[in-house]
Structure 1
Amino acid sequence: MTAQTPPTPPFRDPHLPFAKRIDDLLSRLTLDEKVSFLHQFAPAVERLGIAAFRTGQEALHGVAWMGPATVFPQAVGLGATWNPDLVRRVGDAVSKEVRAMRARDERVGLNVWSPTVNLLRHPLWGRNEEGYSEDPKLTSAIATAYTLGLRGDHPTYWRTAPVLKHWLAHNNETDRATSSSSVRPRVLHEYDLRAFRETAEAGAVAGVMPAYNLVNGRPNHVSPYLREHLRTWTDEDLLVCSDAGAPSNLVDFEHYFDTHEEGTAAALLAGVDSFTDHGTDSTKIVARLQGALAQGRLTEADIDTAVRRQLSVRFRLGEFDGYDETGAFDTPEHRALAQEAAEQAIVLLRNDGLLPLAPDTRIAVVGLLADECKLDWYSGTLLHRSTPLEGLYERFGTERVQFAEGVDRVLLRTGDGTFLHVPPAEEADDQVRGAEGALDPALLAGRTDLPPLTTDATGTEFALVDWGEDILTLRAPDGRYLSVADDGYLRASADQPGGWIVQETFRLETHENGHLLRHLGTGHPVSVAADGVKVAEENPEIFELVVAERGEDAVARAAAEADVVVVVAGNDPHINGRETEDRTTLRLPAHQERILRAARAANPHTVLTLVSAYPYAIDPGPLPAVLWTAHGGQAAGTALARVLAGDISPAGRLPQTWYADDADLPDLLDYDVIGGRQTYLYFEGTPLFPFGHGLSYASFSYADVQARVEGDTVHVSFTLTNTGDVTADEVAQLYARAADPSVVRPRRELLGHRRITLTPGATAELTFELPLTAFEFWDVAHGSWRLEPGPYDLLIGASSEDIRLRTTVTLDGEPAAPRPVAERGLEAADFDEQSGTEIVDRTKTSGDAVTPVAGGTGELIYRACDFGPGVTEVTVQVAGEGTIELSLDGGPTLATLQTPPSGPYDYTTVDAGIVAEGVHDVHLRLRGPLRLAHVGFSG
């Protein structure tokens, strides 16, 4: 008798729709198996032949954390290209490398946690390098391109499954796990949601990751917006992955829930489908989910909903059909693309004719980043490396290029007259180097195979750099940084500062007649012991700092002997501005300002090149040329040298406003871009460099603007001509503004852009088709989008301030109407103006309320409220304790409502008599720690 082959289960049948296959697989899984799938590391189910799966693979600008990979420019640099086509090709290359690397290392995941679409609202945000722009339109254009590349072009299967970070209104590292972003409805709809929405609607997004912070008093991991907004934008089953440790934060730091079972259940019901918590140990999350089931907080149907979304991603990746697209890794095409991206990301901020440099120019390249190719927390390991110095050597020849790093060279003398000394290391460097000399990141810090520092009579001369905030690094003559391993000893062991907790930073603290050298990673001072130099709380050594050479002296000598000085300044992405740490100032660190002044004093032909993850406030006046680029990945130096030499004309554009001074900035936690007049959309001051700014070696003329309205579309066209003598890219930008708005609207708002290459004398006609919805705003008076009728100015030019063409279109729309408060009342958060208040959660599951900041006094204003023929009573839904005073048009108080003591979510209704008719502005003054949810009026 012949044994029969078991029938193929439906979930393995590629001819069936994914939905039916997921139904079948869900029916075969036990409840325990389904619960186990909800941790980041989902186990295999061997009886069904299902492999283990994990959510999460970092791929922000190349495959991160998994060893050598092609490293592209930082995300903010990709944003500076203003080139969605290029960014899509970068995403395509990254996804191919993900597949190629997974073929040889199963730890590499196909669910990539990229891109970051948080808007670069505040330039002091430590993670500025991870976003694309302060503008939602540009951010969504670049993010959509990257996700389309990551998704791949197969009609059915996805090469990788991108997850957008970080939902929502997340732009601060300070207190990021406990701070709340107060986001009024207009800012929510017009700004923060918009970048996520347009990217999700493009169809290549697998899901989102909630941010650590709270929004309007409610943690993002229990955000009702996941249900109310995100999941309405697409028919796909979007996967929501928690950020690392955030599920536990709901109880441990935010104290939003009393138990982990309660918090975990609330997150799952809100829409979180995969819990990233406790690393690879799934037992705690599984126990919490099982506890929530036992307590009746969850049902199996709730578990099924979350597992379905995860399985949807796994089916789209082709896991159950044996789909395994052949990837490509470190190809010539990827190397060329990394260089192209680095070239396109360079922004020429100022140029009085010094650039481009002639071939026979003698160049002094100086500065702390002149011979650096920095990586950040989300970089892969470099396979190839190009520093500015190396790029200039290659382009101009070593005989025409001089180098001075500009570091202070110092010795550290101990109390007994000896000096810190780095013993010679005998190990072979190839033991810690991988392919093509790339250092293994696992061995960059924490090494104990090298001898600890000692002391001797002559000592070692260290390169000391102050990166600002008195944060120092010390580097030995062999190029290695002083670092501290788990055993507490100092060694010259790190190739670069890095790690989640940087172990290569120190601070010199004045103490008695010398200095303590405090290690910032441990917080302990350096101590000299018989068995070596270590960090310890006891017996700190008091050092004398002996300066052998000031960095500016070496810079001045090199500058004086050159035709042109290129000063390369900027930041180390692991120091002063990174994940977990915001910046405190826009200024360059004092050490780098000294270097710049020394170079400029010795040679006025000085080019400042800023290589940084964020904007700076500098004085460009005395400088004939200034450039900026984000850390540009593996080809950064080659790209910079080609731009300086004029081999290509720069065409990067600023993706965010560069402010002139710290005084121009709002408070870091002020998320009201409208009320706070933030970003180029609302900023009324004079920026150092405006949004969209960037110069060229060519010149361009704009002409022949035409605009017409047909149906639901505004058609705009104009011609662009290269009037220069070199082939160059221009980034034409189209902005709009309401000419006579009834509410505060943006000064100008980007509606479209185009990066185009033109040869000398060439002309192109550019056309844009703008849906009328692009001109709408969120009308808080009616809780919906509204197109206001009237004239709209169309502004076309080379930046948000360099406008070359103007025209006006008149649009039909819905006229402004008073708030029908006699019928609908007022939702407290739907104010037009406020002072001294913040928005908080009405309940733990949904809704907003308004409270005075810190329980003090605040005011809310609601414009044009229609009381009809008259009302005689006002009622408020309120929790907490305090007083609400109501007046009309800023006049005398008409009603005072005293709220009785209650818990923050125990709402009561309080009423008072009032006489009002017709249309008036309503003013509410709030006093005390109350929460106002709604105001009603009746007659």
Structure 2
Amino acid sequence: MTAHTPPTAPFRDPRLPFAERVDDLLGRLTLDEKIAFLHQYAPAVERLGIAAFRTGQEALHGVAWMGPATVFPQAVGLGATWNPDLVRRVGDAVSREARAMRAKDDRVGLNVWAPTVNLLRHPLWGRNEEGYSEDPNLTSAIATAYTHGLRGDHPVYWRTAPVLKHWLAHNNETDRSTTSSSVRPRVLHEYDLRAFRDTVEAGAVAGVMPAYNLVNGRPNHVSPYLRQHLRTWTGQDLLVCSDAGAPSNLVDSEHYFDTHEEATAASLVAGVDSFTDHGTDSSRITARLRGALERGLLTEADLDTAVRRQLSVRFRLGEFDPQDDPHGATAAFDTPEHRALARKAAEQAIVLLKNDGLLPLAAGARVAVVGLLADECKLDWYSGTLLHRSTPLEGLYERFGAERVEFAEGVDRVRLRTASGAFLRVPPAGDAADEVRGAEGALDPALLAGRTDLPPLTTDASGTELALVDWGEGVLTLRAPDGRYLSVADDGYVRAAADQPGGWVVQETFRLEPHGDGHLLRHLGTGRHVCVSADGVKVADEDPEVFGLVVAERGEEAVARAAAAADVVVVVAGNDPHLNGRETEDRTTLRLPGHQERLLRAARAANPATVLALVSAYPYAVDPADLPAVLWTAHGGQAAGTALARVLAGDVSPAGRLPQTWYASDADLPDLLDYDVIGSRQTYLYFEGTPLFPFGHGLSYAAFAYDGLTARAGDGSVRVSFSVTNTGEVTADEVAQVYARAPGSTVPRPRRELLGHRRVTLAPGATAALDFDVPLSAFAFWDVARGRWRVEPGAHELLVGASSEDVRLRTTVTLTGEPALPRAVVTDGLAAADFDEQHGIEIVDRTKVSGDAVTPADADGAELLYRACDFGRGVSGVTMEVAGAGTAELSLDGGPVLAVLSTAAPTAGPYDYVPLVAAVAAAGVHDVRLRLRGPLRLAHVGFSG
């Protein structure tokens, strides 16, 4: 059949609009087939010639989990490039590889779950590596670029179908499936929704994935925001895919519903279209859907709505028009272009934080490269398998020559002595390991980890010297001399059986626990202690071995020797993305692990010419005072080492910029679960302290001059123009940044807020004229008194420069805007969550379906302030809609309490609201202050004449 031959069924006819074809196919499906389509693994419908379909293919910075693929820098590194054009090319390469891999393996999906657009509000979030920035503007610019690359540029058929993660206000791993993010309306609209909205409206997004957490007391998987906001932003049928296991969490951990039938029905009605639960086993989800239908909780029309959205994505991917597939011939895998792009992305992600003239390194310098990451190319949970590898050591060997580079890893070399006087011994891997060595001789961690055919550890009189690394908080790894990490398989035996720590539950980490004159060795993956038995070393609940720690060499001793013999030292420090900060685990501190601090001090003491190169998934609080040079890069993928060496050597001038604030200490951070960025002054937008390094910061080997700033307000936008000149001696990139602030605002506004940026390449002496058309909406804030966006009239200051704090030019533009109006409380009352200020308040769900209420977060009570409330000619009474039990006190303008309203008894349930009425006399405009005590939910306050 050709494209011009009328098919037997309309859904097979490429001449018809997709909507008609979807409706035709939907009408041919039976009820059971529709139900089956709603699980992540939708089965084939052989009678219609329809193939099986799976939602979900991880592709955060390359195709993940499907074997060898090009590995690009982590997402936070792509954010650090501040280069949407580059990131679009990365997305394009990833989508081409997905298509090429699928051609050989139909397990590779085209519905890709990427990118992550959660804002990097808090640097201790374990998944910091997955986001782009703490700023909504930068995040949406990078995410939009990546989704356009993933989508491809064909006007009809998409190369892959991107799904944004994770909707909404998700920045903690600790208790992530039960914690609720309390998000006031201004933060919701100005911060958390904004990155999603701008990316969705750009037109290259196929759907979103709700997050595990709750927002304002309601699980994201039954959020009314899916309907109220997401589905109003675009004309396309966005597909909402649940996160793995989240549908069951609604009952099992969150206890939000009593039965799985209720939970599944509520999710589907709220907008979830594909259920990711119980792996490939769809039987439980389909049974719940059938049960919900039988109980009248769902109708077949509800199923049709969800199936239609899924089919819409499948048609856009060209599944039903293979003869017209525009992407088959363009699919590419591990091409020279992709390898070059991976290197370019790694280079552009490097941020020069400090440089007192030590960099670039002098030609012919003798370099010592030291540290736990000096010869590592770390992957993370969402990486593919490396086809190529480049560590900092390898990059420096390549660039400077092995004869000029010294290496010291800096690990502690130890032996573990048993109570009997014997030592732990690692048997040779022998033929078992040779079977799984790749083409370059590297052990394949996917094949080694968890193996039971390798010999377990034993003991003998001399033992094996192990490399011990403390990654912080007492989390240790132990490594045999041949590079194999000690690991525990399902049978409980300890083996040297992993190339790297990894896996969903890491089995390569231990902790030494003081016990008498020695230590117990606890295996963190199982929680059990290591014991020695006649058949080998294993973990068990009884008879733990007490080990003596015999240190052959401290890591800092080797580092000091190498540093003293070199002209310059490069200390490579940072994190392993599988340890102490990752999915399921937040960090507890900004500090560099103690082991690495010791290595840095040893290098600096032995050689003042010390460069600190941080390779990490998140910021650290390091004191740069006595360091002449500091760089940071996220884990940079397959070309990380080459990129770092080229920047150190000056082959490339660094131009990465920090995508989030680097704080000086833990004391600068709010509580991880405090999502009120306005009230607690979080991120560069509101932080009033002195950061270690500010948002947007990054140095260069060149210098740049800014000149000629003008700003002109027109119809719907402000035209901002200025020029940037390279006044240095080398060709380099500059990232010009435009910020705004509203100095005369009547409400708390950001100290400064990014409006736009541009990365430009300039030769020495060259000048670039830059123009930005900033929409007037960028100057607006969410007016809680009106429940909509508003631009304030008056002066708005524009700031232009090289970072949020390195401002080179300023000017002012006057906008007409809308004046502030008092709240019309006589007619509208006060929605409790629409406060201007609060103390001790938590926002909760008014009902399970929609709406917000407020409640004290603790027993000390809480306060709410509503400014400029207009009582007109006067009111005589107040009515508060409440549930639970407690007391509310009302006062005006900070004066005495005018009314006290208390529940006579607790209401039947948290959603059983009753009116509390009291007399109160007020006229004119006043600030209303409410004080709440007890487990009281307040939904609304009304006033009567």
TM-score (norm 2): 0.98
| Residues 631/462 of structure 1: CA separation in 2 closer, same or farther (3 Å cut) | same
Residue 12 (structure 2) pairs with residue 12 (structure 1): yes
Which residue of structure 2 lines up, in the alignment, with residue 215 of structure 1? 215
Residue 913 (structure 2) pairs with residue 904 (structure 1): no
Select between 275-284 and 852-861 the one with higher mean Cα deviation: 852-861
1:651 positional shift = 0.1
1:325 positional shift = 2.3
Residue 181 (structure 2) pairs with residue 186 (structure 1): no
Which residue of structure 2 lines up, in the alignment, with residue 107 of structure 1? 107
CA distance in 1, matches of 2:59, 2:751: 35
1:435 positional shift = 6.0
* 1:518-562 Cα deviation digits (max 9, x unpaired): 000000000101111000111111000000000000000000000
Match of 2:930 among 924, 927, 932: 924
Which residue of structure 2 lines up, in the alignment, with residue 266 of structure 1? 266
SS in 2 for 1:742: coil
Which residue of structure 2 lines up, in the alignment, with residue 525 of structure 1? 529
Superposed, 1:577-596 pairs within 5 Å as: 577-596=581-600
CA distance in 2, matches of 1:37, 1:7: 24
* 1:451-476 Cα deviation digits (max 9, x unpaired): 10000111100000000000000000
1:691 positional shift = 0.1
Which residue of structure 2 lines up, in the alignment, with residue 550 of structure 1? 554
Uncovered stretches (5+) of structure 2, i.e. residues with no partner: none
Match of 1:770 among 771, 774, 786: 774
CA distance in 1, matches of 2:770, 2:764: 17
Letter in 2 for 1:885: E
Match of 1:599 among 595, 603, 618: 603
C-alpha contact 1:118 1:169 (8 A) present in aligned 2: yes
Superposed, 1:14-413 pairs within 5 Å as: 14-322=14-322, 323=325, 325-326=328-329, 327-413=331-417
CA distance in 1, matches of 2:157, 2:920: 63
Which residue of structure 1 lines up, in the alignment, with residue 679 of structure 2? 675
Letter in 1 for 2:750: P
C-alpha contact 2:470 2:595 (8 A) present in aligned 1: yes
Letter in 2 for 1:414: T
C-alpha contact 1:383 1:438 (8 A) present in aligned 2: no
Superposed, 1:783-932 pairs within 5 Å as: 783-899=787-903, 900-902=905-907, 903-932=909-938
Residue 690 (structure 2) pairs with residue 686 (structure 1): yes
* 1:608-652 Cα deviation digits (max 9, x unpaired): 000000000000000000000000000000000000000010000
CA distance in 1, matches of 2:440, 2:462: 36
Letter in 1 for 2:932: L
| Residues 316/436 of structure 1: CA separation in 2 closer, same or farther (3 Å cut) | farther
SS in 2 for 1:518: strand
C-alpha contact 2:445 2:499 (8 A) present in aligned 1: no
* Percent pairwise identity: 82
C-alpha contact 1:373 1:387 (8 A) present in aligned 2: yes
CA distance in 2, matches of 1:160, 1:203: 13
Superposed, 1:474-485 pairs within 5 Å as: 474-485=478-489
CA distance in 1, matches of 2:707, 2:460: 73
* 1:197-253 Cα deviation digits (max 9, x unpaired): 000000000000000000000000000000000000000000000000000000000
SS in 2 for 1:543: strand
C-alpha contact 2:6 2:13 (8 A) present in aligned 1: no
Select between 424-433 and 98-107 the one with higher mean Cα deviation: 424-433
1:441 positional shift = 4.7
1:364 positional shift = 0.3
Letter in 2 for 1:927: R
1:444 positional shift = 3.6
1:6 positional shift = 10
Residue 645 (structure 2) pairs with residue 662 (structure 1): no
C-alpha contact 1:348 1:651 (8 A) present in aligned 2: yes
Letter in 1 for 2:328: E
| Residues 436/160 of structure 1: CA separation in 2 closer, same or farther (3 Å cut) | farther
C-alpha contact 2:64 2:383 (8 A) present in aligned 1: yes
C-alpha contact 1:67 1:441 (8 A) present in aligned 2: no
Residue 740 (structure 2) pairs with residue 731 (structure 1): no
CA distance in 2, matches of 1:439, 1:174: 33
1:261 positional shift = 0.1
Select between 435-444 and 495-504 the one with higher mean Cα deviation: 435-444
CA distance in 2, matches of 1:858, 1:711: 44
C-alpha contact 2:825 2:870 (8 A) present in aligned 1: yes
Superposed, 1:927-938 pairs within 5 Å as: 927-938=933-944
CA distance in 2, matches of 1:854, 1:696: 49
SS in 1 for 2:116: coil
* 1:828-856 Cα deviation digits (max 9, x unpaired): 00000001110000000100000001354
CA distance in 1, matches of 2:99, 2:440: 21
* 1:459-498 Cα deviation digits (max 9, x unpaired): 1000000000000000000001000000111111100000
1:769 positional shift = 0.3
C-alpha contact 2:123 2:618 (8 A) present in aligned 1: yes
* 1:571-623 Cα deviation digits (max 9, x unpaired): 00000000000000000000000000000000000000000000000000000
1:438 positional shift = 6.5
SS in 1 for 2:689: coil
1:443 positional shift = 1.2
C-alpha contact 1:796 1:805 (8 A) present in aligned 2: yes
SS in 2 for 1:264: helix
SS in 2 for 1:508: strand
CA distance in 1, matches of 2:600, 2:27: 68
CA distance in 2, matches of 1:274, 1:333: 36
CA distance in 2, matches of 1:405, 1:290: 59
Residue 575 (structure 2) pairs with residue 575 (structure 1): no
Residue 512 (structure 2) pairs with residue 508 (structure 1): yes
| Residues 441/303 of structure 1: CA separation in 2 closer, same or farther (3 Å cut) | farther
SS in 2 for 1:740: coil
Letter in 2 for 1:215: V
SS in 2 for 1:113: strand
Which residue of structure 2 lines up, in the alignment, with residue 419 of structure 1? 423
Which residue of structure 1 lines up, in the alignment, with residue 783 of structure 2? 779
CA distance in 2, matches of 1:784, 1:560: 63
1:909 positional shift = 1.1
1:759 positional shift = 0.1
1:359 positional shift = 1.7
1:433 positional shift = 4.0
CA distance in 2, matches of 1:444, 1:863: 63
Letter in 1 for 2:845: D
TM-score (norm 1): 0.99
C-alpha contact 2:277 2:285 (8 A) present in aligned 1: yes
SS in 1 for 2:751: coil
Select between 890-899 and 220-229 the one with higher mean Cα deviation: 890-899
SS in 2 for 1:566: strand
CA distance in 2, matches of 1:481, 1:358: 37
Uncovered stretches (5+) of structure 1, i.e. residues with no partner: none
Letter in 2 for 1:409: R
C-alpha contact 1:381 1:439 (8 A) present in aligned 2: no
C-alpha contact 1:567 1:606 (8 A) present in aligned 2: yes
C-alpha contact 1:383 1:435 (8 A) present in aligned 2: no
C-alpha contact 2:432 2:453 (8 A) present in aligned 1: no
